[in-house]
Structure 1
Amino acid sequence: MDCILCGEAIESVDHLFSACKMAALVWNKLSEWAKIPPIFAFSFRDLVSIHNGDGVVRKAKDIVRGLIMVVYWCIWKAKNANFFSNGKGCSEEIFGEVKALGFLWLKCRSKHKNIVWRDWCISPLYML
């Protein structure tokens, strides 16, 4: 079956999360927003360890790892929405959801309880 997000390749875990054009746009937006080195991955396994890269400040590793998990979830949800509901998700919508869910995750599940949405939207690592 072709990828439901890009229609350009056979869907697999590696394709969906690393090779799909839609996913690549989301990863690019994440790296720009978080001010971390560009995310290049050839497989799902590559993405799992991105937060340990040289360009990620030690204090930011947990936040970056959490955001990567949120991206996984948002890409998976977009794929299912397109498949089951004939959705027309785009990278901007997926990334908007990454920002919102990432904010809620961090505010509710970390020591950063006082984060501010306005500042978060500018940079998810502003509090470090």
Structure 2
Amino acid sequence: MVNSDLCALCGEGIESVDHLFTACNISMSVWNRLSGWIKIPPIFAFSFKDLLEVHKWFDGNKSAKKIVRGLIMVTCWAIWKARNDKFFSKGRGDSNVIFGDVRSMGFLWLKCRSKNNNIGWRDWCSFPLYMM
């Protein structure tokens, strides 16, 4: 039974797809860390659709745009997973944990699904677009 319509992560706004992924303080913290880590301008999105188009705004080659797009999807998944963990399993919903999941899942995704499968963890953590 749902007791509240407030965001499961931040507990502040009315939970919706757009709030969870673009306006929630926890999610915004994750997006800020992601943009700083991959050295792109800060991600400002007003809707979930905006997030799915961030890679189009990125000034990089086709391969780099694919990695940015993949990281956006991985980040959405990590935020959704954290939301569900907090809501159903009393998880913490901590932005540091979510960002750690983004780095880990992004690394595994790239290693398993890309021609760049020789990437090392340390290089990935330092600058994931270095191979571009």
TM range (shorter): over 0.9
Aligned to 1:2: 6
TM-score, scaled to structure 1:
0.97
Q: Aligned match of 2:22 in 11, 14, 18?
A: 18
Partner of 1:56: 59
Tell me which residue corresponds to 1:67: 71
C-alpha root-mean-square deviation of aligned residues, in Å? 0.8
- Runs (5+) with no aligned partner, structure 2: none
Which runs of at least 4 in structure 1 moved beyond 3 Å after TM superposition?
Answer: none
Correspondent of 1:90 among 86, 91, 94: 94
Q: What is the TM-score with the length of structure 2 in the denominator?
A: 0.94
Distance 2:17 2:116 in 1: 32
Whether the aligned pair in 1 keeps the contact of 2:26 and 2:93 (CA below 8 Å) is no
Q: 1:113 maps to what in 2? A: 117
The answer to whether residue 50 in structure 2 is matched with residue 46 in structure 1 is yes
Task: Give how far 1:21 is off.
Answer: 0.5
**Structure 1: runs of 5 or more not aligned:** none
The 3-state SS of whatever aligns with 2:49 is: helix
Amino acid at match of 2:11: G
- Displacement, 1:107? 0.3
The CA deviation at 1:126 is 1.2
Which residue in the other structure is 1:100 paired with?
A: 104
How far apart, CA to CA, are the structure 1 residues paired with 2:16 and 2:50? 15
Mean Cα deviation higher: 55-64 or 108-117: 55-64
Between the aligned partners of 1:122 and 1:48, the Cα distance in structure 2 is 24
SS in 2 for 1:38: coil
Residue 126 (structure 1) aligned to one of 98, 107, 130:
130
- 3-state SS of 1:71 partner: helix
| CA apart distance, 1:89 | 2.1
Query: Is the partner of 2:101 in helix, strand or coil?
Result: helix
State the 1:127 CA deviation: 1.1
